[in-house]
Amino acid sequence: MKDNKQQTFSYQVNVGHISANPVRVTLEAVEKERAAMAERWGVLRVNKVRAELELTRWKRDGVRVKGQVKADIEQNCVATMEPVEEKIDELVEALFVPEGSKLARINTDENGEMIISAEGPDMPETFTGNTIDVGLVCEEFIVLAIDPYPRKEGAVVELAGNTSPQDDVVPSPFAELERWKKK
């Protein structure tokens, strides 16, 4: 999350402004930002991106970002190459701590190997300075939700040549032995 040179949907939130009271942020991408997103994500078009977030203090010096991001995108159907619309509606939850914070240290065992639990909570992200880019956070959640194989409703993949469902059935080795016996 540290490289945002290519990223245009940016909204920096000053961590110093987050106190006991939560900070609410609403983001909506403009046309130029949506065009850049479509190019980065490899989709035909991004028609809408909107996020509603709440930032609160987490532990002593960390920040919790919680909310929802919605996006309407168009991409090519993998079967027909026709445009397919997809609506994305994702819950956002991320933790951030300052660089060098004890909360960002990775737990290791006695051999120095990282201890990571698939069911456990994610490690907090780190931030440098006094800002967090919540636009980038939203983009990450959208990208992870994009269907990698979009298919238009009712689309069927046409296979080349004369194939039938029977061609896909692997014959039983016992059936082959039976044929040999009859010869």
| Residue 126: alpha-carbon gap to chain centroid | 19
Quick one: angle between helices 31-41 and 134-145, nearest 10?
A: 50
Got the DSSP string for 95-161?
Answer: EEEETT-GGGPPPB-TTS-B---SSSPPPPEEE-TTEEEHHHHHHHHHHHHS-SS---TT--PPPSS
> What is the identity of the amino acid at 125?
E
Q: How many CB atoms lie within 10 A of CB 10?
A: 13
Judge contact between 23 and 57, C-beta under 8 A. no
Residue 41 class from Cβ within 10 Å (0-12 exposed, 13-18 middle, 19+ buried)?
A: middle
Q: Say what the pTM is.
A: 0.72
Q: In this model, does residue 153 exceed pLDDT 50? A: yes
Provide the pLDDT for residue 143: 95
How much is the pLDDT for 178? 75
Query: Read out DSSP for 45-60?
Result: EEEEEEEEEEEEEETT
Q: What percent of the chain has pLDDT over 90?
A: 43
Q: What mean pLDDT, rounded, does the chain reach? A: 82
- Distance from C-alpha of 110 to C-alpha of 93, rounded to nearest angstrom: 31
pLDDT tens readout for residues 51-85 = 999 999 988 888 999 999 999 999 998 888 889 99
pLDDT in tens, 106-126: 566 677 676 666 665 567 787
Distance CA 124, CA 105 (A): 9
Mean pLDDT of 124-139: 88
